[in-house]
Amino acid sequence: MATLAEILDNKTDDLNKDLRRAFRPLSAPVDISDTPIEALTILVNLTDRVIEQKDLLDRKKCKDKLRDEKWWADCFRTVKYRQSHNPKFPDIRANGVIRAAPVGHLPPFMLSSSKLPQNSWAYANDSGQVNKSCFLTSEFIWNGDVLCLGQLLTELEHPLWNVLRKLGCYVKTAKYISKELALIPPLEINTSLVRNYLAQISLPNDEDSYISLSPVASQSMQEDCYQVLSEHCRFSAITRFSRATNMGTLAMSCGGKFKMIRSLPPIEKYQHHHLDSVNWLTKRSVRAIRDYTESSVWVISPNKLALRKKSIIEDIKIMLSQWLRTTPTHEEKLDIRKLTERFNVDLAKTEFANRYAYDPLLTQLIYNCIGSIIHSPPQDAPKCEGNDDKYLLLPNLRISGASAMNTSVSIGIPSMMAFYGFVHAFQRNVQTANPNFKIESFAVCIHNIHVENRGLTREWVPNTKGQITAPATRDDWQCDVAVSLILRCSHYSQLIPRDFIRLLPGRIARGKVTVSISDIKHLGRCLSLADAIKAIPVETGRWLSLNNEVTLNSIQDVIDELKNNRLQTVSCIGYQLLEPPCEKRGSLHGYKHAFVETILGIIKLLAISKNTNPDQYFWQYHYSKQGPILLLKSISDETS
pLDDT tens track for 332-389: 556 888 889 888 998 888 877 888 899 898 999 999 988 888 877 655 433 433 345 6
**pLDDT tens-digit readout, 562-608:** 999 989 999 999 999 999 999 999 999 999 999 999 999 999 999 99
How distant is the alpha carbon of residue 150 from its chain centre?
A: 30
For residues 47 and 167, state if they share a domain.
Answer: yes
pLDDT at 456: 64
Do 154 and 49 lie in one domain? The reply is yes
Q: Pick from 341, 375, 409: which residue ends a domain?
A: 375
Please provide residue 31's backbone torsions phi and psi, each rounded to the nearest 5 degrees.
Answer: -90, 120
Least confident of 26-30, 210-214, 489-493: 489-493
Average pLDDT, the chain: 90
Range(s) of the domain holding residue 81: 4-190
DSSP three-state, residue 293 = helix
Give residue 333's pLDDT: 56
Q: 402-454, pLDDT tens digit by residue?
A: 999 999 999 999 999 999 999 999 999 999 988 999 999 999 999 999 999 98
329 confidence band (pLDDT: 50, 70, 90): very low
Helix (H, G, I), strand (E, B) or coil at 15: helix
Over residues 99-109, mean pLDDT: 95
* Domain termination site, one of 123, 158, 190: 190
Residue 385 has a pLDDT of 39
Res. 45: pLDDT tops 90: yes
pLDDT band of residue 457 (cuts 50, 70, 90) is low
How many structural domains comprise the chain? Answer: 2
Q: Is residue 79 part of a domain?
A: yes
pLDDT at position 169 = 95
If asked whether residues 141 and 45 sit together in one domain, one would say yes
Same domain, 16 and 160: yes
Position 338 in a domain = yes
470 band by pLDDT with thresholds 50, 70 and 90: confident
- Calculate the alpha carbon distances from 262 to 123, 228, 237, 556, 571 in Å: 27, 13, 6, 14, 10
- Claim to verify: residue 148 and residue 21 sit in the same structural domain: yes
pLDDT at 148: 96
Same domain, 153 and 284: no
Within 10 Å of residue 46's Cβ, how many Cβ atoms? Answer: 21
Q: How many CB atoms lie within 10 A of CB 596?
A: 27
Do 290 and 174 sit in the same domain of this protein?
no
Give the Cβ contact number of residue 616 at 10 Å.
Answer: 19
Q: Are residues 15 and 109 in the same domain?
A: yes
60 and 168 inside one domain: yes
Q: How many CA atoms lie within 13 A of 79 on its CB side?
A: 24
Contacts of 86 (CB under 8 A, 6+ apart): 98, 122, 124, 216, 217, 219, 222, 247, 248, 250, 251
pLDDT digits (tens, 9 = 90+) for 265-276: 989 888 888 776
**What is residue 562's predicted lDDT score, i.e. its pLDDT?**
95
Looking at the fold, whether 168 and 282 belong to one and the same domain comes out as: no
Q: Judge contact between 174 and 164, C-beta under 8 A.
A: yes
| Residue at which a domain ends, from 375, 398, 433 | 375
Distances (CA, A) of 217 to 71, 103, 195, 214, 547: 30, 15, 20, 10, 24
Is residue 627 one of the residues assigned to a domain? no
CA 543 to chain centre: 19
14 burial level (CB within 10 Å; 0-12, 13-18, 19+): exposed
Among 177-181, 249-253, 517-521, the least confident range? 517-521
Say if 481 falls within a structural domain: no
Per-residue pLDDT at 386: 39
Q: Order of strands, edge to edge, in the sheet holding 236-240?
A: 236-240, 257-262, 410-411
The rounded distance, in Å, linking the Cα atoms of 116 and 106 is 12
Q: Is residue 367 part of a domain?
A: yes
Q: Does residue 197 carry a pLDDT above 70? A: yes
End-to-end CA distance of the chain: 39
- How far, rounded to the nearest angstrom, does the alpha carbon of residue 218 sit from its chain's CA centroid? 11
34-45: average pLDDT: 95
Report pLDDT for 387: 41
What distance in Å separates the CA atoms of residue 91 and residue 196, rounded to the nearest whole number? Answer: 10
Are residue 56 and residue 171 in the same domain, yes or no?
yes
Helices (H), 449-571: 497-503, 529-534, 555-564
pTM for the predicted model, two decimal places = 0.82
* Residue 449 belongs to some domain of the structure: no
Q: Do 171 and 296 have their domain in common?
A: no
- Report pLDDT for 280: 79
Does residue 575 fall inside a structural domain?
Answer: no
Whole-number Å distance between alpha carbons of 117 and 309:
33
Asked if residue 278 has pLDDT above 70, the reply is no
Please report the pLDDT score of residue 375 as a whole number: 76
- pLDDT at position 527: 86
Domain annotation covers residue 536? no
